[in-house]
């Protein structure tokens, strides 16, 4: 298992806009969307609205989510694109809180 997050695993703006997204799961702070792609790889993207104030806070939560995705790529299916949307900020923007909630989000998706 490769633990890097390479450039071809990132979802570009053009691909993001062209995809047909279906909602796969939700928690109080995050939504997970999925779309099938033509490539045999999985790609990830993170979306945070500017209405969530503070660029430092937005970048911190984005980095934590990307770290979770990097470490848990094996939980996602190949040939699919995934987008995580942050709807509200968690009370604590710490690795353990974000990781727990993302784990619950992915576990709920796998049960369906």
Give the residue-averaged pLDDT of 78-83.
Answer: 91
Q: How far from 52 is each of 5, 34, 43, 92, CA to CA, in Å?
A: 25, 23, 25, 15
Question: Could you tell me the pTM of the whole model?
Answer: 0.87
Cα–Cα distance, 58 to 9 (Å, whole number): 21
Q: Assign 108 a pLDDT band (cuts: 50, 70, 90).
A: confident
User: 37-57, pLDDT tens digit by residue?
Assistant: 888 889 999 999 998 888 999
**Could you tell me which residues come within 8 angstroms of residue 13 by beta carbon, excluding any fewer than 6 positions away?**
none
Q: What is the pLDDT of residue 68?
A: 94
Q: For residue 112, what pLDDT is reported?
A: 47
Average pLDDT over residues 16-38: 90
Q: What is the pLDDT of residue 14?
A: 86
For residues 27 and 30, give the distance between their C-alpha atoms in angstroms, rounded to a whole number: 5
Q: b/e string for 79-89 if b means 16 or more Cβ within 10 A?
A: ebbbbbbbeeb
Domains of the chain: 7-111 (3.30.230.10)
């Amino acid at each position: 298992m490769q633990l890097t997050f390479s450039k071809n695993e990132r979802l570009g703006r053009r691909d993001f806009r062209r995809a047909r997204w279906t909602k796969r799961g939700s928690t109080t702070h995050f939504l997970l969307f999925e779309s099938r792609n033509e490539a045999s790889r999985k790609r990830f993207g993170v979306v945070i609205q500017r209405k969530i104030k503070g660029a430092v806070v937005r970048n911190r939560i984005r980095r934590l989510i990307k770290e979770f995705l990097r470490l848990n790529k094996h939980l996602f299916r190949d040939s699919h694109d995934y987008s995580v949307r942050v709807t509200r900020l968690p009370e604590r923007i710490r690795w353990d809180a974000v990781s727990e909630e993302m784990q619950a989000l992915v576990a709920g998706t796998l049960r369906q």
